[in-house]
Chain A
């Protein structure tokens, strides 16, 4: 039982390049999330998918797109990377969307992205 996995672990891009961050979970969770973590800013939600087939914007969606490929997989795409997107990206999943009783999130190990 691997939990939440993310690939790659590290990535360096040049400004304007594109890339896709992959996330998969094996807990049969309905909801998945993408966050970015920056020093002094905590975790900020980029996009989330409350259930398979749905996606919604979070706090900081500009410059990103997402795809909920199936129940297990939720990818994050940077179409034209900018230095402001240098960050650590975390994927998370939960059994149901955030507010449900006794719900909790499980996190992947993160992707450290540098945009030059």
Chain B
């Protein structure tokens, strides 16, 4: 069945460091791919998405490219800020459901 595997955390970075969080997926058909972010004590918010191969989703300095050949959707940011500290979830939509990874906790220290 459909599934998402993402990099285990926690990840700790210094402010202005480069961020990569790896995500790979297994799916039948042509799923849409998402990154969601969860700040402490809150629900998940959509960060970015891509709906077909080679699409790049971007928002707030974060980017991810839908790579069909490697079944990946890695999240990147060139320079993280303390305010980016959160848990990040990779997800895909297929069938009648959405499938989420286990989440990667990011802490950015000044």
Contact = CB atoms under 8 A, between A and B. Distances in A.
A58 interface: yes
A43 B89 contact: yes
Contact of A104 (B34, B96, B97): B34
B43 A109 contact: yes
B107 to A, nearest CB: 16
A109 B94 contact: no
Size bracket, chain A contacts: 20 to 34
Given A58-B97, A99-B95, A105-B44, 15 more contacts: A33-B97, A43-B44, A48-B96, A50-B96, A56-B96, A97-B95, A97-B96, A98-B93, A98-B94, A98-B97, A101-B32, A101-B51, A105-B46, A105-B98, A109-B43
A104 B103 contact: no
Interface of A: 4, 31, 33, 35, 40-43, 45, 48, 50, 56, 58, 90, 92, 94, 97-110
A105 B45 CA distance: 9
Interface core residue of A58, A94, A105, A106 (most chain B CB under 10 Å): A105
For the complex, would chain B's binding face be called helix, strand, loop or mixed by DSSP majority?
A: strand
A110 B43 contact: yes
Nearest to B94: A99
A107 to B, nearest CB: 4
Contact of A33 (B29, B34, B98): B98
Contacts of A108: 43
A4 B101 CA distance: 22
B73 to A, nearest CB: 14
